[in-house]
Amino acid sequence: MNLRGKHFLTLKDYSKEEILYLVDLAAKLKEKKKAGQTGHELEGKNIVLLFEKTSTRTRCSFEVAANDEGAHVTYLSNSQMGTKESIEDTAKVLGRMYDGIEFRGSSQKTVEDLAKYSGAVVWNGLTDVDHPTQTLADFLTIKEHLNKPLNEVKFVFTGDIRNNVAYGLAYGACKVGMDFVLLGPDSLHVDEEVKAYCEQAAKESGGKFTITSDVEAVRDADVIYTDIWVSMGEDESLYKPRVEMLSPYKVTKELMARTGKKETLFMHCLPSFHDFNTALAKRKHEEGLDIREVEDEVFRSSQSVVFDEAENRMHTIKAVMVATLGK
C-alpha cells in the first residue's frame, strides 16, 4: 500500500482497501504511542494548519500527531487567503514553504484548489460537505469496541442527515460495505449526487444504503450516531425550526432500547449539547427551547464511546499524515 503524495480531501478518493489500511495503521500507531514510543516518520517536514472555522479536536489532533512524528507545525488562522490574496496565489506561496497543508473551513473547492495549486500534500480537516478525518476516527472506534468486521456493522445516523458529518460517514460506510442508514424527517432532502454516489458505492461493496424517516430503522443497529442540529456558521434563528423538526430523532434511552441490543454504541463527533451546562444550551432552554440532540443519560452511559472517538481523531490523523507524507 503506497499512499505517499496522495491528497486526503474526501474518502470518495480512497478505495475500501486504502480506508481499511489507514484504520489499521492508526491502530498500530496508537499502540506505539501507548507504549511511549515516539515516531520519526515526519522528521524534517513542515506542516501548516489553515483554519477558517473554530476547532478543538481537529487542531489538537493535527498538532499532537505531527509533533509525535517529528514535524514542525504552523497554525494559521489569520492569513490573507480569499480576502487580499486569491486561494491560488496563497496555495503557491504555502507550497514553497510547506510539505503538508491542512484546511478546515467552509468550501470544499478551497481544499481542492489548495491541492491543485500548492504542490504540497493537502488534508481536509472539515468542510461544509465532508469530514473525512472524523469518519476514520469513528471506524477505528467501532473496530475497537465491536467484535465484528466493519462490513458487518449496521450504522444509523439520526437527526440532521444533510450535514457534513453525515455525508462523510456515508461515503466511508458505503465504501467499506456497512449497512448504513440516514434517519431523519422526510423534509430534509439528501443531496441527489450524494445519494447516487452512496447507492453505487454500497452496490459495489456489498453494503446497503437507506434513507428513512421511520425510527424503527434503528432495529438491530450496532451504532447510533448523531450530531448537533445547527452547524457552525448557520444562523441562530434556525434553532426553533430545527428543534421542532428533529426532536423526534433525538437520541434517548428509548431510542437506544429500540435497537434490541444492549451493546449498541452511541457515537457523536462532538461538541454535543447533551445537558444545559453550555451557555448556548442554557440560554435556549430559558427561551423555551431544548436544543439537545442526545439525552445526558445516553451521552454519559456505558454505551457511549464519544471520548474514545475524540482521542482517535489524533491517531487516525497521524495515520493519514504518515501514510501520505511520511518517510
Indicate which residue of 59, 131, 258, 274 is catalytic.
131
Residue 315 bears catalytic tag: no
Indicate which residue of 7, 57, 59, 104 is catalytic.
104
Nearest CA to 176 out of 297, 8, 21 is that of: 21
Indicate which residue of 57, 269, 292, 315 is catalytic.
269
Residue 57 bears catalytic tag: no
Nearest CA to 164 out of 41, 281, 306, 9 is that of: 9
Q: Write out the three cell numbers for 43.
A: 522528521
Q: Write out the three cell numbers for 280.
A: 448556548
Residue 162 bears catalytic tag: no
Burial of 18 (0-12, 13-18, 19+ CB in 10 A): middle
Nearest CA to 165 out of 127, 212, 209 is that of: 127
Indicate which residue of 7, 134, 303, 315 is catalytic.
134
Residue 104 bears catalytic tag: yes
Give the residue carrying C-alpha cell 474514545.
Answer: 308
Indicate which residue of 57, 258, 313, 315 is catalytic.
313
The total of other beta-carbon atoms located within 10 Å of residue 282's CB is 12
The total of other beta-carbon atoms located within 10 Å of residue 100's CB is 26
Residue 131 bears catalytic tag: yes
Residue 37 bears catalytic tag: no
Which residues, at least 6 apart from 309, have a Cβ–Cβ distance to it below 8 Å?
137, 138, 141, 267, 268, 269, 270
Indicate which residue of 130, 227, 258, 268 is catalytic.
227
d(CA 113, CA 273) in angstroms, rounded, equals 34
Catalytic residue list: 104, 131, 134, 227, 269, 313
